[in-house]
Homo-oligomer: A and B are copies of this chain.
Amino acid sequence: MLTQNQSVRTHQEGLYTFDGFPLRRGEHLGPITIAYDTWGRLNETKDNVILIPPTLTADTLVHDEEDPEGNGVAWWNNIVGPGRPIDTSRYFVICPNALGGCFGSTGPSSLNPHTQKPYGMSFPLVTVHDIVKTQRMLIEHLGIQRLEMVIGGSFGGQQALEWAVAYPELVKKVVVVEAAEKMTALSMAWCEIGRQVVKLDPLWKNGDYSSEEKPSGGLAIARMLALTTYLSEQMLEERFGREITTWNVIPTPSQTSDMGERYEVENYLFYLGGTFSYNFDPNSYLYLSRAMNLYDVSDGYPSLETALSRIKSKMLFIGSRSDLLFPAACVRQLAKKVRQCGADTSYWELDTSLGHDAFLREKEQMQNALWSFM
């Protein structure tokens, strides 16, 4: 059965363009294009849909039909695919690129129709609410009345929570992984430091860089900092400790010489920072990172309780014991509040030293959490 399904390729890419709408913060943005990928087949009653809102920086490839066991190309193979909790032989799975992103959706690198130049920093501030609204319009466009499930991690978890609060009638189940109703002051500080580094890069030029001369150094350093908040002390200690690298050909983001020996942990971050900055748009990073900070689920409601009391979906929250960016205690407390506000809510904590990255790496625990909920 699984073998048969695995051989059926269902992956499709899509683009949906519409007039746009007034953003949460007032400004009108349009036209808006949302890029998305799908797997599986929409059934006749159109009630087998799982939406996976994107993380801050990942593309729309949650599953790789060519390499369903791999972790290289697709970022959520661990839980998406035939025989996995997000079973593509059973569900129609949609992963859209965020509004403001750089993988096909309208963002700061898109052409402003009024000027025929890239928006750059004239792109309006987008919020998680706006991003989720584009996803609601996308599913309406696809003729889908109601979602079986929304599941997202980190920035995607914020969007999943926003789905539950903004469109309570439209989604049956919601899984919020490693996200909370708002970020901590420390996590907001780390994000702002990353954004300051991007904007310090002389090539950033107030956002008006050319695609051939991107401020890659600043973005690479911002990514390095972000990675320290995705990983954990224990994981880095066990994997790298104070090992000195014997392979230090990777340039530093500042294009400067090492001061003495280079440690493996430095080399690892240089490498990941460099590849990220090659693939991602610096302005998109600024806008999406800012949207993540600005998010507060209670925005537009009299109180947090009012917002959470709107939820009608069955809820699962998943925290990671070693998460620095969205500490497990915050996720746990939010789950408790949502339960107190009346929703059918469960909480699962990943027992892991992999930090915030656990939602992408702890295959078995993530699968078990989801099996118990599906």
Using a CB–CB distance below 8 Å, which chain A residues touch chain B?
A: 25, 125, 182-186, 188-190, 192-193, 195-197, 199-202, 206, 217-218, 221, 224-225, 228, 231-233, 236-237, 239-242, 252-254, 256, 259-260, 263, 265-266, 269, 286-287, 290, 293-294, 296, 327
Once the chains bind, are A185 and B259 in contact (CB under 8 Å)?
A: no
Q: Select A224's contact among B125, B193, B202, B233, beta carbons within 8 Å.
A: B193
Q: Select A125's contact among B184, B228, B259, beta carbons within 8 Å.
A: B259
Q: A185-B237, A186-B237 are in contact. Are A196 and B259 (CB under 8 A)?
A: no
Q: A199-B256, A259-B286, A327-B233 are in contact. Are A189 and B125 (CB under 8 A)?
A: no
For A186, list chain B residues within 8 Å (CB): 228, 231-233, 236-237, 265
For A185, list chain B residues within 8 Å (CB): 233, 236-237, 239-242, 263, 265
11 A–B contacts from the bound complex (CB under 8 Å): A125-B259, A188-B265, A189-B269, A192-B263, A192-B269, A193-B224, A193-B228, A196-B253, A199-B252, A200-B254, A259-B286
CA distance A327 to B256 in the complex (A): 30
Number of copies of this protein chain within its complex = 2
List the 10 closest A-B pairs by CB distance, nearest first: A199-B254, A185-B236, A202-B202, A185-B265, A200-B254, A186-B233, A185-B240, A199-B256, A259-B290, A186-B236
For A196, list chain B residues within 8 Å (CB): 221, 224, 252-254
Main DSSP-derived SS at the A contact region: helix
Supply 12 further A-B pairs (C-beta < 8 A) apart from A186-B231, A196-B252, A242-B296: A185-B239, A185-B240, A185-B241, A185-B265, A188-B265, A189-B265, A190-B225, A196-B221, A200-B200, A200-B253, A225-B225, A259-B286
Once the chains bind, are A242 and B182 in contact (CB under 8 Å)?
A: yes
Once the chains bind, are B254 and A184 in contact (CB under 8 Å)?
A: no
